[in-house]
Structure 1
Amino acid sequence: MKYRCLVLIPALLLNVTFDISTLAAQTERDPKEAVTNLTVAPGLKATLFASEPSISSPSSMDVDSQGRVWICEIVNYRAKMRPIPTRKAGDRILVLEDTNKDGRADKTTVFYQGPELDGSQGICVLGNKVIVAAPPNVFLFTDDNNDGKADEKELLFKVTGGEHDHSAHAAIFGPDGKLYWNFGNSGKQVFDKNGKPILERNGKPVLDNGKPYWGGMVFRCNLDGSDFEVLGHNFRNNYEVTVDSFGTLWQSDNDDDGNRGVRINYVMEYGNYGYLDQLTGARWRTPRTGMHDEIPLRHWHLRDPGVVPNLLQTGAGSPTGILVYEGSLLPEKYWGEVIHADAGPNVVRAYPVEKDGAGYQAEIANIITSEKDKWFRPSDVCIAPDGSLFVADWYDPGVGGHRIGDQKRGRIFRIAPPNANKYQFNKLDLSSVEGAIAGIKNPNLATRYLAWEKLHALQEQALPQLEELYQSDNQRFRARALWLLAGIKGKTKHYVSHALKDSNPDIRITGLRAARRYKLDVIPYVKQLVHDSSPQVRRECLIALHHNQSPQAAGLWVTLADQYDGKDRWYLEALGIGMDGQEQEFMSAWLKQAGDKWDTAVGRDLLWRSKIPLTVPYLVKIIENPETKLDALPRYFRALDFIPGKEKNAAVAELALIKEPGDKKRETYIIAEAISRMPANVVMKDQKYQHALAQVINSSRGTPEFTKLVEKFHASAYYPELIAIAGQSGKSQTAVDAIRAALSLKQKVLIQKTLKKKGGSEKERHQKLDLIWALGTSGHKGANALLLNIIKDDQEPLVDRREAVRAIAKSRSGAHALLDLAEKANFHSQLKPTAAAAMSSTIMKDVKERAAKLFPAPPTKDNKPLPPINVLASMKGDILDGRVMFNTKGTCAKCHVINGMGKEVGPDLSEIGKKLSREALFESILYPSAGISHNFESYTIILASGNVVNGLMVNKTDDAITIKDAEAISRTFKMDDIEEIIPQKISLMPADLQKVLTQEELVNIVEYMTTLKKAKKIEKASR
């Protein structure tokens, strides 16, 4: 941006322009400054391993057993969507190598390049095999001759959704020899290389349709894609999954952008993670009973039965790569911890985790941040064979979201203690068992993969060395050894049984997981652990019972349920996972055992979680129980929502007629919740329910529930109130919901009657404008005819017609109807500026193309056409330059006052920045007659002398009128000297003001105007 040095000389203001920002930005963006711009945690040092021009825009990374860094480079990111320069040969997979071990890459090899890799989101190196997620494809590349270049390419999986960030992401090799990977909520379904739908073990397709899966999912399968499992679902954009040596899964997930709901999850196998409503697939904004007030928590449906809790919520962000650090080079505080890159807030974090009941709790510890350079966008993190941490930096002004701002830069950093500058380590030696054991102990996953394959192939030949490793003091080494020992043919049961007796609960958990991995009958092992002192071990027992058809499963589940403390949500969800598909049998067994003592904290939670008709009478008793607190009632009503069938319908009908002596507030709430769940035809056919409904509607006035109830039950007596709400609630969601309900109830005649009311107070005039706004914002097709009637009616006030133009242009059908009208010769000329402004802001391509012919954008000083208002509003301007433009060149200060300075013709703009949006500011400048502020209408005065005066009316009495002209000069004329007073339909502000400005100057002026909120401070600061 340009900065102006203002040199004040008597009678002369010199503007000396010099551009220092370009030079500053170039210096700031130079790779030489990359490390300097980072803040690194104590005990660690960052070094630059690679940067542009060697690499650009790295989206994903892996480090192989030789220490080489593999990069998915996505210069062509979303190129099909946006007109950006492209690399015609396609995006690349690069291999970066440090041949002299000085910690900096000095050799770059192109492993593969092709347009099918555009937008790649993940890479996993497994020896000479490389798995690349390039949505909609997951490819398997093979380097047959180990020269660092792909010799073969085949399709491993295909997903739906096209090239999208919310699709397939990176795969990872697990300690059990399995492949783990995921996709986000655009993945939808997984197919094999032949296009055949992938089926789970139970024969059902892996499909996002709510039967049973929603949204993003986590998968486990064999390396060839067989034996496919869904391990978790209902994520939004779960960018990457990682798994530790015990087989525990960790993952990040992004919220709907801007809602401060980014989360880190411990992935409890087979869990639902709550992005979409389990019943309907609705997102978090859809109202539901008992939802959180706080949006970040409401976002994940955390109060619904069957949703696994979040480990941690980290606020706003754009989460990317994740790992578990199982090395020892970094300081001990990071050993065994989750480390995660979040590109949005420019940070790489560790999440120190502690066990918390059957789950975990975590805190945040930053490893790398960048306050100096906000282009630092960490996209991935990996562990090298020496235990150092590698960080890929996409390096861009933005964070994905289908946009790329810089296609030329990218960096890779190595993070290690200050005394570990040399990037060196022992070469993997697979020629001996001892060498393979050293490999399985390595923190680098690519190394462990090769060692695992070798040791697994050796079977009993490696047994002595694996048993020795199993006796290690390092519990993660022990777990890795256990997976391999259990994989030796004929030894699985022996080592599983041995592990279940171990003093370390993590090893007991690993043993039970190994039993499942090798498809043993888990019932004997669950019996062995059913009274384990660790709730985490018991959690794994419950997961092991998932879909288990053994006759003993229900009894074991009941024993585990009896050890629930009534507080641990992780344990409760594990109980739900354990009884999934067998709730009737398992809950019947528990209720039989509990007898009359079912109504406890434990019993209430189990009934709430079960979601089956069997529990309906119990939930009704809980709701009817006077000891159930009012603030607990939403929880149990929400539980009823998940139960299908006539039992639930009969129960809510019973509750709709409840009488609560002495507690009217509680009675009203129960009746309201019950009635809202009843079919409309049942309620409206029975007088006793109609009476209950009236009671509820009357008590709900002033709340969103009023509109919902009136609409659902077609309560015609309240229709006029809906329209009154739409006009009296300002520009709000309440107003839109009310008018949409009225339109759905076919109340166009009643709405028309309200709109046709003449005269009224100033308040009533504003209410009509708000009603017109609500009609346009409703998106209901029935609104168009009502709005067109206003637009075409010459008897309607011009201000109302302009508001109707803006309103109808908000919908595609309405915009086209307006354009149809505008193409006719009789379209009112005074409505054209308003229509032009409204059409300039539209994002609908077909509307924009038609509108451009009718309402071309006004040209600027250099005779160049302006882009649409929404594009102008997205541009960043120079505040200081805008201030200068505002006060010079005869522009804004000629007619407007800021903090007492300027001419008082138009409105005072001292606080305009907190009144109008950027879009509205541009519209006011480019189309001043599109909407004239109240009390700033202009008039033409024709005098008896023949003179004509234009200006704003300052005052008017029976005897005289005072007019202020464009020079801020006020003059008073006697009525006897005036022949005619003509109200004008156009603004006194020039309609071609932009002609004295360039596009850059216009953007700068608006940038300055957005700061006019606490103007005095800003003026002082800018001097």
Structure 2
Amino acid sequence: MKLKLTRQLIAVSCIGMLGISAFQVNKTPTAAKSLLDSLNQFHAGLVVHPDVQITTFATEPMLKNPTNMDIDSKGRVWITEAYNYRPAISGNPTNPKGDRILILEDTNGDGVADSQKIFYQSPELNAPLGIAVLDSMVIVSQSPYMWKMFDDNRDGVADRKEILFQGIGGEQHDHGAHAFTFGPDGKLYFNFGNEGKQLLDAKGKPVLDQDGDAIGPAKYKQGMVFRCNLDGSQVECLGHNFRNNFEVAVDSYGALWQSDNDDDGNKGVRINAVFEHGNYGYTDELTGAGWSANRTNIESEIPLRHWHLNDPGSMPNLLQTGSGSPTGMLIYEGNLLPPVFQGQMLHADAGPNVVRAYPVKPKGAGFEASIVNLIDGSKDQWFRPADVTIAPDGSIFVADWYDPGVGGHQAGDQTKGRIYRIAPKGHAYRVPKLDLTTPAGALAALNSPNLATRYLGYQKLKQLALAGLEEAYATEQNPRLKARALWLLIQGPQGAKYLEKAIQDSNPDFRMLGIRAMKRMPFTGWLAHAQKLQNDANPQVRRELAIALRHISAPEADALWTNLALQYEGGDRWYLEALGIGADGNWDQRFNAYAAANQLNRDVVWRARTTKSVPHLIAYVREAKPLTEKLRYFRAFDFVPGNEKSVQLMQLINESMQKEPALAMVALRHISAEYIQQNPAARKTVIGMLAKVEGNEYLELIEKYNLTEMAPSLLQDLLKGKNSRSTAKAIYSLNSGALIQQKFKTGTVAQKRAIIEGIRWQGNKESLNLLFSVVKQPSYELSVRRDAARGLGNSYPNGEDLVLKSLKNKEIPQDLIPSVVESVSKAWRKGVRLEANGYLIGALAQTKTKHPPLNDLLTQRGVIASGKKVFVDQCSMCHQVDNEGIDFGPKLSEIGSKLSREGMYMSVLHPNAGIGFGYETFELITKKGDTYQGIIVSRNETDIIMRLPGGLSQSFKTSALKSVKQLPNSMMPEGLADGMATQELVDLMEYLNTLKKK
């Protein structure tokens, strides 16, 4: 009976098992129903908004691992694949032909893709993350390149490609080059994450920004947002200091929206309204330090602290959404979906398995937003929405990476990938006919919700000299469609007329559009318009005008800015930061004009970047108010240039030391180190104040101001066992290690053991040489030698490497070998532990627990309480759950919401396959020859802060370093699970699975 199956039924059966075939299937009504029924399995675990339905458009083997998507004017779905993602780390197989760009098409109108074409495939295409289809030009982003590919003969296959930009981050890095989008002004908008770092042109030369400066770390920090012409010219940097801003979305008024990822585990994923030229606060604006570095007026909650939200100059967030791995975003300007989604962001977040909207409402000069789910995939944790795109008919398509894990550098499954379609129930997929031969047809294309179609309409209307556009603008009732026409008219021969119409419109969105357009003209050309808008009743309009004044040095600009500043209402951080952007580069003259009005607002003073603000800040911190209310003003001193602030702060300290010592201590932290080095009297005062602080603050001040006079005192603390690990670090940072060496020779047994306790963790040449000499020298007391032996391998990697070398060379006395081996018993590297154990007399090498296959492990259930104990014993020395444990690796408080069980097993069994970004292993080698390995938490041109195993952070001057390089392996040991019984491993997974978003 089975042998008599028809070819057609076999095809349908295979489709039901494996996904859509790459070949056309001739479907009868019965067969078509069977096909659609079989496709339902792919979205069975997805819950959609009640007013829409979800259908499967395509699935494996037609596509695999989709990372980004676009839909052209014909309704064809373009997909970038990442089969070859990070093979060196994940160990996954690769396709030697390279990754693919696919075109998927529904040729018979049943809503299911039945045609697949490879637009481009090449070995140099490795995990592309962005695609934008603009007629015959297709822009593809794949670090370190952004390419323009051309289909000259329009046969669906790339004929040639050119470099648009290059030099962007590391190859295959998902914090690098991201997608392009077409703006209503005819410009391209794009971004890259914090691995991008720079932008080079096709010839490898630095791209210059709107100020004529090179786009790179000398001026901008971390992730950035850009705008440019279609040919890549006239690049503008529109915002910076994001972590991993994945895709910028632009609405018809020219406003920018974006999501950003936090350092994993800190519940700080955010949605941003991007104000042009804003600093978005991922790292310290001045020092480049990470968010966890101590600072005055630090935010009380980590998700807020993560973005330096209390610092003047950091833009506020529209919304913080907790944990996640945010990816593709668009502005839905169609009318097919329910009203709650219309005009709003639609966003894919692969971490919590959702696609959602953030309905926005104006609030002062800024916004507030809520969350409405379009798709909830929490019941299927393999659902990993990578992108969301709007089709010509207004329906929504979602690309699903479909994988047990997300983020980092791994892919747990290489065979799957799905495309879903969201539309009202019963709405068939029909692509509107496109006619670009007439002005009416071109206008209809411009009005499309689909960007590829809109691009065609925009270009055709320009070719037709904007024919019919004036009438359309006059009669159009939909404001977003009217706005698109207005952008074109402003750029046309009667641009001045339509710019005037924009700034006089009753709709504030149009007045803001007018400001964004005129901002690109010379200031003298729009000064008259600005003067009409400076007293606008809408604070958002005044916000845009303030931003437009950036880098304009003219008395008229000072007067406009002053008038805008006088209208600031306290508590509107959006307005305040817009004023800051508008005064950038011209603070002295702006503040002079503002102060002359005799109506100073202390928030404006707090935001200022001029020495002229110092007397006012000093007055504020002298007020008879609780110290907690003054901390923000002390933090403001850090952003004021020059030494005038240090002079006045020193005077404040001298006056306050007796009557208000706490105030004096806070003031001390904001004097520049340069000032202390140049003023002996100030240095003496600082040293005298150290008696009033203790712990980490005491050591931080000594290191910050390089107070070498304090080294003997630190030595005494070390001998007493007072904060010994950090104290020893401070002594070495002052280049005073000779004091330790000298005291060790003459000290008592107790003092020697105290010194060993402090230096065993340092890992520099001085500390290791001392420990090693004690181990080898029989004249020292046996208890001291054993302590030194147990501490010799406590540093990574220098101490561990020294242990292996000395054991191999038989330099360790026989009776101390067990103690030396014990010193590496918890080494990160499994190979170190195994090799060291081999030197134990009569001991067998560490055996490896043979766990069942992953599929068998997934069927087992553990005991939550037992798993928590395993976590405390095995994992808490590197990870935190709800602030308990060591802050070294990623926080795991919500790991159960981010990873499926498969993903968690893979992370423990194969840690090198999924290293989270920001937790890569780096090796620093100093010019003295010391080697350190750990995680870089902040880095700028002059300083690097590295977090070492155990959670201790150490600062390095880049001038003192010989090399800095990234290593391929995770800091998490590859053999971590080998030391667990299978039941312990299962219990651990059971516990981790309970750690979910509350």
State yes or no: 1:383 paired with 2:390. yes
**Matched AA of 1:698:** A
Matched with 1:913 is 870
What are the ranges of 5 or more consecutive residues in structure 2 without an aligned counterpart? 1-16, 20-37, 879-974
**3-state secondary structure, aligned to 1:287:** coil
CA contact (8 A) 1:185 1:216 kept: yes
**Which digits, 9 at most, give the CA deviation of each residue in 1:594-617, with x for residues without a partner?**
1xx53xxx2x22222111122222
**Matched AA of 1:565:** E
- The TM-score normalised by the length of structure 2 is 0.79
State yes or no: 1:646 paired with 2:643. yes
Cα distance change, pair 187–796 in 1 and its aligned pair in 2 (3 A): farther
State yes or no: 1:812 paired with 2:797. yes
**Which digits, 9 at most, give the CA deviation of each residue in 1:961-989, with x for residues without a partner?**
xxxxxxxxxxxxxxxxxxxxxxxxxxxxx
CA contact (8 A) 1:710 1:716 kept: no
In the alignment, the residues of structure 2 paired with residue 814 and residue 370 of structure 1 have an alpha-carbon distance, to the nearest angstrom, of 47
In the alignment, the residues of structure 2 paired with residue 192 and residue 409 of structure 1 have an alpha-carbon distance, to the nearest angstrom, of 36
Shift of residue 814, structure 1, vs aligned partner: 2.5
**Matched AA of 2:514:** G
In the alignment, the residues of structure 2 paired with residue 700 and residue 438 of structure 1 have an alpha-carbon distance, to the nearest angstrom, of 70
In the alignment, the residues of structure 2 paired with residue 856 and residue 86 of structure 1 have an alpha-carbon distance, to the nearest angstrom, of 37
**Matched AA of 1:265:** N
Shift of residue 682, structure 1, vs aligned partner: 5.1
State yes or no: 1:503 paired with 2:500. no
Larger gyration radius, structure 1 or structure 2: 1
**3-state secondary structure, aligned to 1:110:** strand
Shift of residue 672, structure 1, vs aligned partner: 3.8
Alpha-carbon RMSD: 3.8
Shift of residue 816, structure 1, vs aligned partner: 2.7
**Matched AA of 1:238:** N
Matched with 1:823 is 808
Of 413, 424, 432, the match for 1:417:
424
State yes or no: 1:512 paired with 2:501. no
**Matched AA of 1:523:** L
Equivalent residue runs for 1:956-971 within 5 Å: none
Cα distance change, pair 180–803 in 1 and its aligned pair in 2 (3 A): farther
State yes or no: 1:690 paired with 2:684. yes
CA contact (8 A) 1:31 1:52 kept: no
Of 113, 116, 138, the match for 1:108:
116
**Matched AA of 1:193:** A
Shift of residue 322, structure 1, vs aligned partner: 0.7
Cα distance change, pair 172–788 in 1 and its aligned pair in 2 (3 A): same
CA contact (8 A) 2:40 2:55 kept: no
State yes or no: 1:231 paired with 2:209. no
In the alignment, the residues of structure 1 paired with residue 977 and residue 547 of structure 2 have an alpha-carbon distance, to the nearest angstrom, of 62
State yes or no: 1:1006 paired with 2:984. yes
CA contact (8 A) 2:334 2:449 kept: yes
**Matched AA of 1:605:** D
Equivalent residue runs for 1:25-44 within 5 Å: 33-44=41-52
Matched with 2:373 is 366
Matched with 2:940 is none
In the alignment, the residues of structure 2 paired with residue 66 and residue 549 of structure 1 have an alpha-carbon distance, to the nearest angstrom, of 49
Of 704, 708, 711, the match for 2:697:
704
- The TM-score normalised by the length of structure 1 is 0.77
Matched with 1:177 is 186
In the alignment, the residues of structure 1 paired with residue 265 and residue 839 of structure 2 have an alpha-carbon distance, to the nearest angstrom, of 32
**3-state secondary structure, aligned to 2:462:** helix
Shift of residue 878, structure 1, vs aligned partner: 4.1
Of 763, 787, 804, the match for 2:771:
787
Equivalent residue runs for 1:503-902 within 5 Å: 503-517=506-520, 521-594=525-598, 597-598=599-600, 602=601, 604-626=602-624, 628-659=625-656, 664=660, 666-670=662-666, 672-673=668-669, 679-681=675-677, 685-686=680-681, 690=684, 693-694=687-688, 696-702=689-695, 704-709=697-702, 712=705, 714=707, 716=709, 719-720=712-713, 724=717, 736-745=725-734, 746-747=736-737, 749-750=739-740, 775-792=759-776, 801=786, 805=790, 808-828=793-813, 878=857
Cα distance change, pair 584–37 in 1 and its aligned pair in 2 (3 A): same
**Matched AA of 1:708:** L
**Matched AA of 2:646:** N
**Which digits, 9 at most, give the CA deviation of each residue in 1:793-819, with x for residues without a partner?**
666667984785566353233333222
CA contact (8 A) 1:183 1:238 kept: yes
Equivalent residue runs for 1:298-317 within 5 Å: 298-317=305-324
**Matched AA of 1:621:** A
Matched with 1:983 is none
Shift of residue 432, structure 1, vs aligned partner: 1.3
Which deviates more from structure 2 when the two are superposed, residues 62-71 or residues 613-622? 613-622
Shift of residue 1008, structure 1, vs aligned partner: 5.2
In the alignment, the residues of structure 2 paired with residue 479 and residue 773 of structure 1 have an alpha-carbon distance, to the nearest angstrom, of 69
**Which digits, 9 at most, give the CA deviation of each residue in 1:627-666, with x for residues without a partner?**
x4411322222211122223123122212212388x5355
Cα distance change, pair 448–619 in 1 and its aligned pair in 2 (3 A): same
In the alignment, the residues of structure 2 paired with residue 634 and residue 415 of structure 1 have an alpha-carbon distance, to the nearest angstrom, of 50
Matched with 2:276 is 269
Matched with 1:141 is 149
In the alignment, the residues of structure 2 paired with residue 488 and residue 301 of structure 1 have an alpha-carbon distance, to the nearest angstrom, of 43
Equivalent residue runs for 1:80-229 within 5 Å: 80-163=88-171, 164-209=173-218, 211=219, 213-229=220-236
Cα distance change, pair 149–619 in 1 and its aligned pair in 2 (3 A): same
- Equivalent pairs: percent with the same residue? 43
**Matched AA of 2:256:** L
**Matched AA of 2:537:** S
Shift of residue 708, structure 1, vs aligned partner: 2.8
**Matched AA of 1:189:** Q
**3-state secondary structure, aligned to 2:468:** helix
In the alignment, the residues of structure 1 paired with residue 787 and residue 50 of structure 2 have an alpha-carbon distance, to the nearest angstrom, of 61
Shift of residue 138, structure 1, vs aligned partner: 0.4
CA contact (8 A) 1:178 1:222 kept: yes
**3-state secondary structure, aligned to 2:177:** coil
In the alignment, the residues of structure 1 paired with residue 142 and residue 290 of structure 2 have an alpha-carbon distance, to the nearest angstrom, of 27
> Number of paired residues?
856
In the alignment, the residues of structure 1 paired with residue 99 and residue 859 of structure 2 have an alpha-carbon distance, to the nearest angstrom, of 41
In the alignment, the residues of structure 2 paired with residue 727 and residue 75 of structure 1 have an alpha-carbon distance, to the nearest angstrom, of 58
In the alignment, the residues of structure 2 paired with residue 55 and residue 342 of structure 1 have an alpha-carbon distance, to the nearest angstrom, of 20
**3-state secondary structure, aligned to 1:698:** helix
- Bigger relative contact order, structure 1 or 2 (CA pairs below 8 A, ≥6 apart): 2
State yes or no: 1:430 paired with 2:387. no
In the alignment, the residues of structure 2 paired with residue 522 and residue 779 of structure 1 have an alpha-carbon distance, to the nearest angstrom, of 62
Of 344, 347, 364, the match for 1:337:
344
In the alignment, the residues of structure 2 paired with residue 144 and residue 316 of structure 1 have an alpha-carbon distance, to the nearest angstrom, of 44
**Matched AA of 1:584:** D
In the alignment, the residues of structure 1 paired with residue 209 and residue 288 of structure 2 have an alpha-carbon distance, to the nearest angstrom, of 22
In the alignment, the residues of structure 2 paired with residue 623 and residue 448 of structure 1 have an alpha-carbon distance, to the nearest angstrom, of 55
Matched with 1:45 is 53
CA contact (8 A) 1:805 1:818 kept: no
In the alignment, the residues of structure 2 paired with residue 726 and residue 120 of structure 1 have an alpha-carbon distance, to the nearest angstrom, of 56
In the alignment, the residues of structure 1 paired with residue 444 and residue 815 of structure 2 have an alpha-carbon distance, to the nearest angstrom, of 82
Cα distance change, pair 90–799 in 1 and its aligned pair in 2 (3 A): farther
Matched with 1:3 is none
Which deviates more from structure 2 when the two are superposed, residues 526-535 or residues 672-681? 672-681
**3-state secondary structure, aligned to 1:252:** strand
Shift of residue 37, structure 1, vs aligned partner: 1.1
**Which digits, 9 at most, give the CA deviation of each residue in 1:63-111, with x for residues without a partner?**
1111111110010011244432110000000011111222211111000
In the alignment, the residues of structure 1 paired with residue 117 and residue 137 of structure 2 have an alpha-carbon distance, to the nearest angstrom, of 16
CA contact (8 A) 1:390 1:414 kept: yes
**Which digits, 9 at most, give the CA deviation of each residue in 1:743-790, with x for residues without a partner?**
223255448858997787xxx99xx68x75653444544332233245
CA contact (8 A) 2:637 2:670 kept: no
Which deviates more from structure 2 when the two are superposed, residues 999-1008 or residues 78-87? 999-1008
What are the ranges of 5 or more consecutive residues in structure 1 without an aligned counterpart? 1-24, 885-897, 900-908, 922-996, 1018-1023
CA contact (8 A) 1:608 1:636 kept: yes
